[in-house]
Structure 1
């Protein structure tokens, strides 16, 4: 895990700009840095910068930019199947001087070009500079970030916006339209378009690459085109469980490869417990789990966590929700992220990463992606009922299970009707909940209708894939990456594995939920490994903290930090914010909006000297 940055164009960058960029890259790579400059085609300057966090082959010989076969590689990520790829390349006559995955990826690119990426399993953002130009590429699910900005001289790129700004010599204007999108529609709207929080700054798309030839001409390509609607309707539930278990075990196995210690994020849910149980009981890994321990009874998972720790024999560290210095800490987090924080969950997760770092770990493992691959959200239950329309008997049984298990706990008003999607398959009002009201908080009003991509004929599967590629997983990965990198930690997500994705796409929809238990296939795939109490617990919790648990709005100083003059009030009306903080309690949607407001306020104060509508 590292930081990358660079430039490809007609400019000659000043040494001061290069030094400033490398300095900003320090948290992503505290173990060394390097740079290379090449002149391509006689007129284009190519610069690659790299800061290294040593995970595999801790020797300096694996430092980057790494030269191989006439090209230079600056790479952020991990190639998890590098040992298998290395063996194949050696049989083809390639020799290696390091034990790193970096040299393997460089060898793949030098000998096979981008076609070789089809055999690569991992997470990455890389720049490959050779005589034919520059290649930028990002992993299939977008675990590793890669930002680009183009002007009339060329292209600037980097793992974080601040790296691009350092090379460019200036910051870019705040994208106010994207900020309004965040305020009104929330984090699930942030990756619906190609926008970022800065005008003109974009990201290389997951599963895609961008070429710039010797003349600087750009060409965009996709090297991975996931397949949808490929369910095998003859697959039994037992076959689905066996296939998922095999793929997940292999995914965890190769993601435990490291020359530094690995920690696990532990909750009371089946996702993290599945990974930990496989690591401990199937692969013999000595697991140290870390848990943010919530005191809010709506989100508290202590009993399940303690059950896992005892039954699996885990080393365990709990981190209490730290409420002191919330506003100053949040500002520090926003400043590092170069963006507002997606949800309050990721403010708490930032504190968890601090504890992981203090224990000496350089890698953390999290359960990102399980809900979207196996079905895990409350609305999936309602969509499942709609998906059973052709089998009225099964649908009636599923509805009875919903009434028994889900009805007592679901809070979203639209989802309290089990037949909401049977009555209206196009209903999506539950996703941007209260968006119309929040639009009225802005001056002028701003609104954007919900939209989704068409991935599947089955509404449930279509929702799951929209969540995976546009709504839930992209902002989660953004926060996972930055929270971990702030403390120089690499985050790994075993559920985001191509083989596992393909297996999950083949599973018939009817197998996804059983007895109102979402993720039915995943639960049974780790039966006998993870604790039965966790597997059989139907409760979907998720980590959350109400905003007033952090904000003492009775404190005049806190109130002043919220309501005093600032650039935010050029875009948000002060009155509705004062009304919110005067309420004794807030429903979840309003609690989220107040958190978004605080983030937007601080973001504008930190970055908003220039702004564009």
Structure 2
């Protein structure tokens, strides 16, 4: 796991200094070593910071060069040993034990088609000297970030937005980010805080000719539902086998690795599966609170006792939270309502001596774990309301009712926002002193990026939750908050084979109401304690509201915030909405 950056700029002044500046702006995500490649003829520079997990020796140092190929790579290829064996049969020889070298040899063998064979999380740049091409690629699920900007003459890319402040070019603020953030509580792709800086789409490689900067897009993975698995016994058996193999792959590491254990279904299952192969070396950690309503300690103990895991609980108090809040805000590369919880669990994982942890992220999206999967039936009734009545809901005093007005908008984000939207267009326009039409037009522009047509019921909600909430909030938060602490978060539920398995399962099996996340619980019903899956769902949340009421960070700084603060104090505005408005005003577009 690492951080990468690159520059192609015909005005090649201070190229080495600029690439080192971009690279080192992300030093928290690659504390173990750093490297730079500056092309001797072309104005091309690549920078890399390393967090060592596989092949900890100097042989795994990057940029890695193999004859005419040079690579910088952020991520893990979990099936690299199988690919290595295959490539050896083709006659390739290896000088390291790293997955990075496997990528180079695979590209040499198959070109950009090699990315189809990778099961892992990755963002990479590969310079092909022979073909004078720079390849940028991002994994099948968009687990690892990669942002880029090009004006047809120059190209910049990096793992974090903060790196662009050191690129040697002044990037303007994106005028659309504030509206998007107030609407979603995160920035949906392709929006970032910077104008003309966009994320590379997941499952995609860009083939960039140099020096012309002609770009060809190569799509190597697209997640589609087919519902081929219609026999329940077969589907459940395959589910178990696929997830067990995924967890085993994700435990491969030459550095200390453990698991987040919250006490919910997902992390409990991962711990149970990991205990099969790591009986004597299973490390888990969790966060606990003195506030009983937020603590899941009793459920965590059930799994600890069952697996014999070497467990460490870390107590987070109001004092600790307030002490670390400024640092958590610095870690936030892009604005997000969530993420501070991941900051703390990552901080303690690092203190525990771990370099990588497994997380249950993704299971709710794939197997129907969120309330939206049940709410969709009620939403069908809302859709039948006259448009005039739907628009009128925006002006209701209750923000939960206001969200329903999104159903009347004709864009692919509308249904998602009716479940998870923060402020409606009327409220966003008022906060930003713009027009409702401008806010709605911005939403309409997103429709082409999120083509959800043709999906129904549970699969539709799964697609929405995966491509909006998980992609743009959970994965981003997990990446920049964990990497701030030099920690890698691995997500076995987003293993390529698990995602394909979920897409192949008949919705009638996948989205059975009882028990929740039916295929997962059914597949492991003999191991998973009933108390774990029968409990009411509890998200991984902190007692923020109570802790922050006395913190100067949330005190209003202008008249607009003062009005919101009064509504919050009078319980007319939820904590999350007030926090969203504060973050929007306090976030620096280019950290």
Tell me what 1:175 maps to.
174
Relative to structure 1, the CA distance from residue 160 to residue 285 in structure 2 (aligned partners, 3 Å threshold; closer, same or farther) is farther
Matching residue within 285, 306, 325 for 1:290: 285
Q: Distance in 2 between matches of 1:336 and 1:11?
A: 32
Q: Does residue 231 in structure 1 map to residue 227 in structure 2?
A: yes
User: How far does residue 533 in structure 1 lie from its aligned partner after superposition?
Assistant: 2.3
User: How far does residue 328 in structure 1 lie from its aligned partner after superposition?
Assistant: 6.9
The C-alpha deviation readout for 1:18-49, integer Å capped at 9, x for no partner, is 3323332321111111111225xx6x422111
Q: Distance in 2 between matches of 1:63 and 1:207?
A: 26
Give the SS at the match of 1:205: coil
Relative to structure 1, the CA distance from residue 90 to residue 326 in structure 2 (aligned partners, 3 Å threshold; closer, same or farther) is same
Q: Distance in 1 between matches of 2:323 and 2:352?
A: 24
Q: Distance in 1 between matches of 2:547 and 2:107?
A: 49
Q: Distance in 1 between matches of 2:415 and 2:145?
A: 32
Tell me what 1:165 maps to.
165
Q: Distance in 1 between matches of 2:416 and 2:67?
A: 54
Tell me what 2:474 maps to.
476
8 Å CA contact 1:294–1:321 kept in 2: the answer is: yes
Q: Does residue 577 in structure 1 map to residue 564 in structure 2?
A: yes
Q: Distance in 2 between matches of 1:313 and 1:54?
A: 28
Q: Distance in 1 between matches of 2:543 and 2:128?
A: 51
Tell me what 1:113 maps to.
111
Tell me what 1:458 maps to.
456
User: How far does residue 52 in structure 1 lie from its aligned partner after superposition?
Assistant: 1.0
Relative to structure 1, the CA distance from residue 259 to residue 138 in structure 2 (aligned partners, 3 Å threshold; closer, same or farther) is same
Q: Distance in 1 between matches of 2:310 and 2:403?
A: 39
Give the SS at the match of 2:287: strand
Over the aligned positions, Cα root-mean-square deviation in angstroms equals: 2.8
Q: Does residue 197 in structure 1 map to residue 193 in structure 2?
A: yes
Tell me what 2:383 maps to.
none
Of stretches 373-382 and 133-142 in structure 1, the one that deviates more from structure 2 is 373-382
Matching residue within 583, 586, 591 for 1:599: 583
User: How far does residue 183 in structure 1 lie from its aligned partner after superposition?
Assistant: 1.8
Of stretches 73-82 and 288-297 in structure 1, the one that deviates more from structure 2 is 288-297
User: How far does residue 152 in structure 1 lie from its aligned partner after superposition?
Assistant: 5.1
Matching residue within 302, 307, 311 for 2:302: 307
User: How far does residue 127 in structure 1 lie from its aligned partner after superposition?
Assistant: 0.3
Q: Does residue 251 in structure 1 map to residue 241 in structure 2?
A: no
User: How far does residue 76 in structure 1 lie from its aligned partner after superposition?
Assistant: 0.4
User: How far does residue 298 in structure 1 lie from its aligned partner after superposition?
Assistant: 5.0
Tell me what 1:442 maps to.
431
Of stretches 66-75 and 453-462 in structure 1, the one that deviates more from structure 2 is 453-462
Q: Distance in 2 between matches of 1:385 and 1:437?
A: 24
Relative to structure 1, the CA distance from residue 248 to residue 575 in structure 2 (aligned partners, 3 Å threshold; closer, same or farther) is same
Relative to structure 1, the CA distance from residue 515 to residue 384 in structure 2 (aligned partners, 3 Å threshold; closer, same or farther) is same
Tell me what 1:134 maps to.
134
Tell me what 1:49 maps to.
47
Tell me what 1:370 maps to.
363
Q: Distance in 2 between matches of 1:412 and 1:516?
A: 26
Unpaired segments ≥5 residues, structure 2: 381-398, 405-413
Q: Distance in 1 between matches of 2:281 and 2:416?
A: 46
Relative to structure 1, the CA distance from residue 510 to residue 385 in structure 2 (aligned partners, 3 Å threshold; closer, same or farther) is farther
User: How far does residue 513 in structure 1 lie from its aligned partner after superposition?
Assistant: 3.6
Report matched runs for 1:339-358 at 5 Å.
Answer: 339-343=334-338, 346-358=339-351
Give the SS at the match of 1:319: strand
For these two proteins, the number of residue pairs brought into alignment is: 551
The C-alpha deviation readout for 1:327-353, integer Å capped at 9, x for no partner, is 67444333333322331xx21221111
Relative to structure 1, the CA distance from residue 414 to residue 165 in structure 2 (aligned partners, 3 Å threshold; closer, same or farther) is closer
Unpaired segments ≥5 residues, structure 1: 388-410, 417-424, 609-613
8 Å CA contact 1:353–1:487 kept in 2: the answer is: yes
Q: Does residue 211 in structure 1 map to residue 212 in structure 2?
A: no
User: How far does residue 254 in structure 1 lie from its aligned partner after superposition?
Assistant: 0.9
Give the SS at the match of 1:137: strand
User: How far does residue 581 in structure 1 lie from its aligned partner after superposition?
Assistant: 4.4
Relative to structure 1, the CA distance from residue 580 to residue 36 in structure 2 (aligned partners, 3 Å threshold; closer, same or farther) is same
Of stretches 490-499 and 544-553 in structure 1, the one that deviates more from structure 2 is 544-553
8 Å CA contact 2:416–2:465 kept in 1: the answer is: no
Relative to structure 1, the CA distance from residue 168 to residue 581 in structure 2 (aligned partners, 3 Å threshold; closer, same or farther) is same
Relative to structure 1, the CA distance from residue 329 to residue 595 in structure 2 (aligned partners, 3 Å threshold; closer, same or farther) is farther
The C-alpha deviation readout for 1:436-468, integer Å capped at 9, x for no partner, is 564265041554358663254322201201211
Matching residue within 38, 63, 67 for 1:65: 63
User: How far does residue 299 in structure 1 lie from its aligned partner after superposition?
Assistant: 4.2
Tell me what 1:86 maps to.
84
Give the SS at the match of 1:290: strand
User: How far does residue 382 in structure 1 lie from its aligned partner after superposition?
Assistant: 3.8
User: How far does residue 516 in structure 1 lie from its aligned partner after superposition?
Assistant: 3.4
Give the SS at the match of 2:494: coil
User: How far does residue 293 in structure 1 lie from its aligned partner after superposition?
Assistant: 1.9
Give the SS at the match of 1:115: helix
User: How far does residue 206 in structure 1 lie from its aligned partner after superposition?
Assistant: 0.7
The C-alpha deviation readout for 1:524-551, integer Å capped at 9, x for no partner, is 12223333321x3152111223542221
The C-alpha deviation readout for 1:245-278, integer Å capped at 9, x for no partner, is 1111111111111001102111121111111110
Q: Distance in 1 between matches of 2:29 and 2:182?
A: 29
Give the SS at the match of 1:263: strand
Of stretches 66-75 and 321-330 in structure 1, the one that deviates more from structure 2 is 321-330
Report matched runs for 1:395-414 at 5 Å.
Answer: none
Give the SS at the match of 1:429: helix
Of stretches 298-307 and 126-135 in structure 1, the one that deviates more from structure 2 is 298-307
Q: Does residue 429 in structure 1 map to residue 418 in structure 2?
A: yes
Of stretches 114-123 and 508-517 in structure 1, the one that deviates more from structure 2 is 508-517
The C-alpha deviation readout for 1:265-304, integer Å capped at 9, x for no partner, is 1112111111111000355463222212245555442221
